[in-house]
Structures are given as structure tokens and as C-alpha cells.
Chain A
Amino acid sequence: MKNIIGRKVGMTSIFTADGRYVPVTVIEATPNTVLQVKTVATDGYNSVALAFADARKNGLTKPEAGRFTKLDLTPKKHIREFRKSIDGAPEVGGTVSVDVFTAGEHVDVVGISKGHGFAGGIKRHNFHGGSRTHGQMIHRQPGSNGDTNSGHTHRGSRRPGHYGVDRTTHQNLEIVRADLERNLLLVMGPVPGPKNALVIVSAAVRPPKVAKEAPTVKAAAKGKK
């Protein structure tokens, strides 16, 4: 598994090598420090802990900072553990950079979605709502709550409520560019969360089996040769 922790910078559009104009999300992932490698022998399972973004001097508690200073590493703000190891044998104290990914590859991106507060059914569940005109007095209301025969509201029925700030995964986004010089990943399409939010980029769990109709960046690069 390939993983990296980064920061969502924002969105823009980019021309690909074959001249397509594609929307991309820019993710900045300064080299992640490998903080800990867990193995079955020592911990009962395999995993790698990565750390991202330098912490302020007083940004961490002593025990948190201790994990770094013990290994003579610069303290980082965010630590995430990934089950299964990163390809190759990562060493504690080593780094993971954006060059683990190449253009054309598919990735899953995890983020915390934007908060919408207490949202109604239309925004939260894509209800249609009533007509604005023609006399009814139901516009954005959720409508029926279910049958009266059963005497209770069915569990899991979609109602207004808190929306957003959920851990959200977008699967199979294509890497458009991996810029090692500036530690940038350009991922096609949107990514969950607001700007400056933490995102986790991993190799796709379920990559598409068949090439899509539209030529991917990789296919186009091949065709050019």
C-alpha cells in the first residue's frame, strides 16, 4: 500500500500533455516522516505510522513530542497509522514523498467533509422539495414521515440533521501530476474537505479494471510514443 498525508491547497484546472483541460485538486504533501514500523512480531499486526507537517514549538504535548525527539526527528503535527506496510521496507526516520505516486495512477483520497451545520432534507439527502408556486405551502419540507399503520417512524429514514464533518473517501481519482520539487500532488476532480484541510492519499483499493472511454493521462502519454 502506498500512503501519504497532505494538505488540500485548493482547486484549479490544468492542461494535460494531450491537451485536455482537466479540473484538479492540489494537495501539498511535504515529505512524511516514518515514525514507527509495527510488525506482527512486535505489535501483533503490520503497520506504518507516518507523520506530517512540522509542529510549532509549543504545538505538541511532551509525550507527543517525545515520540519524535527520542528518535532525533523534527516533531510533526499529524500522525496517521496505515495498516499493511508501504511498498518496500520503510525505515523509521525515513521519509515518504509524493514520488510514490506517478501520473495516471488511481488513488483514494480521505478527508473530513465540509461542515454544513443542521441541514434540511434537500441539501442533506437530495430531496426534491415542493413547488415554489402553484399554491402549496410545502416548499423545502421533508414531506411524509412514513406510514401511520406501523405507528412509529422507521429507523434510518432520512431526516434533516447535522450534515458534513464526516470522514469521507473519494475512490479512484486519477493522479494528474506528482511534482516532487514542490511536493505537490494534482488529483483529478474534487476532494473532500475545505481548503487547508488534512487529506490522506492512498493507492486505490479498488482500481478500475477496464480503461475508461475517455483516454487517461497515462494512455495518452503511451499513445504519443
Chain B
Amino acid sequence: MYVGRKETMNVIDLLEREQLKSDVPDFRPGDTVKVYSKIVEGGKERTQMFEGVVIVRKGGAIGETITVRRISHGVGVEKSFLLHSPRVEKVEVSKRGIVRRSRLYYLADKVGKAARIKEKKVAR
């Protein structure tokens, strides 16, 4: 049954906005970032760092995720993080990359030198 619209029309927007982080740095796919996330291990909580290339930023607002790719022990590892999750403590940009698309899925097919990304020189 229809109850009617109220002045609280954008309650959902508000709820989502409250949870957004204000300290997310500006970064794009192609950049190399360090993601510090809290993980629970053996009943204990600790912070783990994962460094790699951002291959995609997906979704918006509270549901935004980033996928970070790195080569670990010769195996490609991709991890997705909910950017605004309280479990993701911090994101640091370590390198800026020059890429020509927003989704770098092609990196998975490249090995070694071909998988490099040109670095953008930023004035320090």
C-alpha cells in the first residue's frame, strides 16, 4: 500500500554518504598502490599490506571496489577491495602509471616485460 513520499526522500543517499571515507587518495587504473587491510588470522586481527597495479575501479559511492594485481612468487594475484570498507585501513599511491584504458584486464595475458606499465613522472 502506498504511504506517500516524505521529506526523507534521499535517506538512502544520506546513509551511504555517511559511510564514505574522505581520505581516499586520488588514483586511477594503472597506478601502483599499497592497500592496508585488516585481516583476521587465528582469532587475531592484523593489518596486511598488498601492493600492486590497480586494474579497475568499479561501482560508485559506498559499493566502490578496486582490483589490485601483482605478481607473487611468479603467480599473478588479483585482489578486490571494497574501497570504503572499514577493513581497508589505508590506500597509498606509490607510482602513477600511463595507461590508455580504464580496465586493464589485458595485463593478465601479458607476461614479464610486456606486463609493464609506463610510469608517469610526477614532479615531487
Interface residues of A, Cβ cutoff 8 Å to B: 7, 9-15, 19, 21, 26, 28, 52-53, 77-78, 112, 182, 184, 186, 196-198
CB contact under 8 A between A12 and B12, given known A19-B85, A19-B87, A21-B85: yes
Confirm or deny: B106 has a beta carbon within 8 angstroms of a beta carbon on chain A. Answer: no
Question: In this complex, which of A21, A26, A198 has the most chain B Cβ atoms within 10 angstroms of its Cβ?
Answer: A21
Taking CB as reference atom, which chain A residue is nearest B63?
A13
B44 to nearest A CB, angstroms? Answer: 12
A53-B8 Cα distance, complex, nearest whole Å: 13
Q: What would 18 more interface pairs be, CB under 8 Å, given A21-B82, A28-B11, A112-B1? A: A7-B3, A9-B11, A9-B12, A10-B12, A12-B12, A14-B15, A15-B84, A15-B85, A19-B85, A19-B86, A21-B85, A26-B11, A28-B8, A77-B3, A182-B11, A196-B2, A196-B3, A197-B3
B47 to nearest A CB, angstroms? Answer: 13
A9-B16 Cα distance, complex, nearest whole Å: 14
The residues of B that contact A11 with a CB separation of less than 8 Å are 12
Describe A's contact surface by its main secondary structure: strand
The answer on a CB contact under 8 Å between B1 and A198 is: yes
Task: State the total of A-B contacts with C-beta under 8 angstroms.
Answer: 57
A26-B86 Cα distance, complex, nearest whole Å: 21
Taking CB as reference atom, which chain B residue is nearest A6?
B3
B interface residues, how many (CB within 8 angstroms): 20
A28-B9 Cα distance, complex, nearest whole Å: 10
CB contact under 8 A between A197 and B1, given known A9-B8, A19-B86: yes
Q: Per a CB cutoff under 8 Å, which of B1, B19, B38 touches A15?
A: B19
CB contact under 8 A between A28 and B6, given known A14-B15, A182-B11: yes
The residues of A that contact B87 with a CB separation of less than 8 Å are 19
Confirm or deny: B42 has a beta carbon within 8 angstroms of a beta carbon on chain A. Answer: no
Interface residues of B, Cβ cutoff 8 Å to A: 1-6, 8, 11-12, 15-16, 19, 38, 62-63, 82, 84-87
B26 to nearest A CB, angstroms? Answer: 22
The residues of B that contact A196 with a CB separation of less than 8 Å are 2-5
Taking CB as reference atom, which chain B residue is nearest A9?
B11
The residues of B that contact A77 with a CB separation of less than 8 Å are 3-4
A15-B18 Cα distance, complex, nearest whole Å: 11
A77-B3 Cα distance, complex, nearest whole Å: 8
A7-B62 Cα distance, complex, nearest whole Å: 23
A198 to nearest B CB, angstroms? Answer: 5
A197 to nearest B CB, angstroms? Answer: 6
The residues of A that contact B3 with a CB separation of less than 8 Å are 7, 52-53, 77-78, 196-198
The residues of A that contact B2 with a CB separation of less than 8 Å are 196-198
The residues of B that contact A9 with a CB separation of less than 8 Å are 8, 11-12
The residues of B that contact A53 with a CB separation of less than 8 Å are 3-4
A205-B2 Cα distance, complex, nearest whole Å: 26
A112-B3 Cα distance, complex, nearest whole Å: 12
